[in-house]
Amino acid sequence: MPFPVRSALRFLFLLTAVMAPTALFGAAEPDAKIGQAPAPSLAGRILVAAPGMPAARFQKIVIVIVRNGPEGSMGLVINRPAGENPWESLFAVLGERREGVTGTFPLFSGGPIQPELFFGLHTTDYRLPESIAVTSEIATTASPKILHDIIDGNGPRKYMISFGYVGWAPGQLEGELGINAWFTAPLDLPLVFDADRSTLWEQMVTAHGTP
């Protein structure tokens, strides 16, 4: 069933509002060592739930890590389709003037946290002043203008529109990786935007998982 477009869409793409720490399943944080160099950022990596993932609601999910640093981490799930939704309803709820728009767009569930927040993940051939790069290949854009540009044929080559996100408190994601709840893999554009969502987790485990 398509996810209903709600009045909360006025919060579309508010990326700066999503970094509040949110526990997933209480994994321990790694020990900090004085003078230790910070670990490389995981932003732009693919995060995959390990076959032994202890939290039921995060089993078999695949995530693009959008932010990772001392303030915590945030990611968007890419293998939870939420159905086709009409562009007309989206623009109407946003209060955006758009006459005669037809058709639908695929909506995704980006995670269980704050499902009233919506996000655009897209290729970097499209840029606005407020666009935030995740890697040299993908970015997020915090403006409803991206929707108008997609309709007009001036949007990104590839994109995803999702609601909600997954978040971690400072050090928590690293702790969960330390107990093998997740594993990471390199980001690949066809994987993010074109892969079969129904088998994506199995593909990632086969290609990158550990026995």
- Give pLDDT, residue 155: 96
Could you tell me how many residues make up the chain? Answer: 211
Average pLDDT over residues 132-136: 91
38 and 9 in contact (C-beta within 8 Å)? no
pLDDT the model gives residue 39: 65
Q: Please give the share of the chain, as a percent, with pLDDT higher than 90.
A: 56
pLDDT at position 210 is: 63
* Phi, psi (deg, nearest 5) at residue 109: -90, 110
The predicted pLDDT at position 38 comes to: 55
Statement: residue 161 has pLDDT above 60? yes
CA distance 48 to 57: 13
pLDDT band at 18 (very low <50, low <70, confident <90, very high): very low
pLDDT at 10: 37
User: Using an 8 Å Cβ cutoff, are 35 and 144 in contact?
Assistant: no
Looking at the domain covering 7-15+41-121+161-208, what would its CATH class be? alpha beta
User: Is the pLDDT assigned to residue 1 strictly greater than 60?
Assistant: no
CB 87 within 8 A of CB 151: yes
**How much is the pTM?**
0.81
13 pLDDT exceeds 50? no
Q: Given a cut of 60, is residue 22 above it in pLDDT?
A: no
pLDDT of residue 32: 44
Q: How far is CA 160 from CA 17, 78, 121, in A?
A: 19, 8, 5
When pLDDT is cut at 50, 70 and 90, the band that residue 143 belongs to is confident
**Residue 61 clears pLDDT 80, i.e. is over it:** yes
Percent of the chain with pLDDT over 70: 80
Q: What is the pLDDT of residue 15?
A: 36
pLDDT at 2 over 70: no
Read off the pLDDT of each residue in 70-77 and give the average, rounded to a whole number: 94
Among 113, 104, 107, smallest CA distance to 165 is for 113
Residue (of 155, 133, 137) closest to 145 by Cα position: 155
Beta strands in 110-194 (DSSP E): 113-123, 132-133, 138-140, 159-168, 182-185
Please give the mean pLDDT across all residues of the chain: 82
Q: Are 141 and 131 in contact (CB under 8 A)?
A: yes
